[in-house]
Amino acid sequence: MDIEDLALFGGEPVRKTPISLSKPFITQEEIDNVIEVLRSNWIVQGPRVEEFENNFAEYVGTEYAIAVSSGSAALHLALLSIGVKPNTEVLIPDITCISVPNAVSYVGAFPRFVDVNMNTYNISLEALERNISNKTSAVIPIHLYGHPASLDEILDLSNKYGFFVIEDCAQAHGAEYKGKKVGSFGDIGIFSTYATKNMTTGEGGILVTNRREIAKKVRFLRDQDKSSNIPILAYNYKITDIEAAIGLAQLNKLDKLNAQRISNAMLLSSHLKDIDGVKIPFISNYVKHVFHRYTLFFEPQRFKGSRDELASALEAEGIKNGILYTPPAHRYPYYHKKYNFNDKQFENADLISKSILSIPVHPNLEKQDLIDIVNATKKVTMQYCK
């Protein structure tokens, strides 16, 4: 086989009908639930939202859950509810979705980016401790791609230095750390239920906590109409019973959907683990990784083309893929211009963001899709390897 055989250069693609990177798993149950709400005439926040919150809290193992309009809104309310003040610092891994530093900026605090671990791509414990100061008000560990961050060590640091921990579980519904669901460890856990996530309500988010005063404050902050006789600046971050009806059906099947993601990931890893220069996803032995994303690492010195060229070649073969995230947060134009970071502090994040590529792992994939993903990945890497 030679380079002209690649679909990018006119060869036959592995797949004529492309395989999507994400696809929501919607069944008759979601459709029936939505119809029931529409027929009930109660379509705004109401009994289905309350039921969704109760079921979600029970699933995660927390006292309280509050449904909101997005994961970003959940982050914003989390920071407000613990009283993060302007001019304090909130520590965030440098490989992150932009919603996280943006929420920190909404409350006027400084998003202090922290380098990440080369195996899990989650926040690096050494870099975290180095960045803690008397200005640190909170840390937001992200359970990136569905792999839990090192919660024991982060909670130890929180006890030692006295900062809040907000777990970002936007990509990790049902993931476990030492046998317990993520979201139940920190002061607050936040989830996104955006369409690509392990469970969805279309757009949406949910905040969990064991602390009554936080839950109470978040409810006031979410429902500005409740705040007319209290001195609080509140928001309208509510979701509707229509979205909650979808969420209830999704929550019922979350464990099954995660099991399918894990099984897909295991099949991909068993076929891709021996490709020279490619690292399959790392799994710590004390976690349940729920594979929101299945992310390969291409060692730059082992390939003739850049990771971006590999991504285009794979796409041409009919395998949609994603680079999540590039650039690392300290290089986002808004933050780089505002704070002029010293790039040398982020060597791992810089390397990772140049070298990773997520390929499809969602639960809608058929056996043949997985075989095609493997074959296309092998075809492309074989052509580009040195």
Helix, strand and coil content of the chain, in percent to the nearest 5, comes to 45, 15, 40
Is 294 a binding residue for ligand PLP by CB under 6 A? The answer is: no
Residues 14-43 that bind ligand PLP (CB under 6 A): none
Smallest distance, ligand PLP to C-beta of residue 220, A: 21
For residue 47, the surrounding DSSP H or E stretch is helix 47-60
Is 97 a binding residue for ligand PLP by CB under 6 A? The answer is: yes
Is 192 a binding residue for ligand PLP by CB under 6 A? The answer is: yes
Q: Which is nearer to ligand PLP, 99 or 383 (CB)?
A: 99
- Residue with CB nearest ligand PLP? 71
Long-range CB pairs of 214-218 (<8 Å, 24+ gap) are: 214/64, 214/81, 214/82, 214/187, 214/188, 215/63, 215/64, 215/66, 217/80, 217/81, 218/66, 218/77, 218/78, 218/81
Query: What Cα–Cα distance (Å) separates residue 293 from each residue in 30, 105, 215, 262, 264?
Result: 23, 27, 30, 10, 11
Smallest distance, ligand PLP to C-beta of residue 119, A: 18
Is 120 a binding residue for ligand PLP by CB under 6 A? The answer is: no
* Cα gap 190→208, rounded to integer Å: 6
* Cα gap 264→378, rounded to integer Å: 17
Is 171 a binding residue for ligand PLP by CB under 6 A? The answer is: yes
197 is catalytic: yes
Is 198 a binding residue for ligand PLP by CB under 6 A? The answer is: no
Is 350 a binding residue for ligand PLP by CB under 6 A? The answer is: no
Smallest distance, ligand PLP to C-beta of residue 189, A: 11
Number of residues that bind ligand PLP (CB under 6 A): 13
Query: What Cα–Cα distance (Å) separates residue 100 from each residue in 2, 91, 162?
Result: 44, 10, 21
Q: Which is nearer to ligand PLP, 193 or 383 (CB)?
A: 193
Instruction: Output the CA angle 95-171-190, nearest 5 degrees.
Output: 95
Q: Which is nearer to ligand PLP, 145 or 384 (CB)?
A: 145
Which residues have CB under 8 Å from 306's CB, separation 6+? Answer: 300, 354
Catalytic residue, candidates 16, 181, 197, 379: 197
Residues 59-78 that bind ligand PLP (CB under 6 A): 70-72
Smallest distance, ligand PLP to C-beta of residue 192, A: 3
Residues recognised as catalytic: 197
The residues of the shown chain that bind ligand PLP, judged by CB under 6 A, are: 70-72, 97, 99-100, 142, 168, 170-171, 192, 194, 205
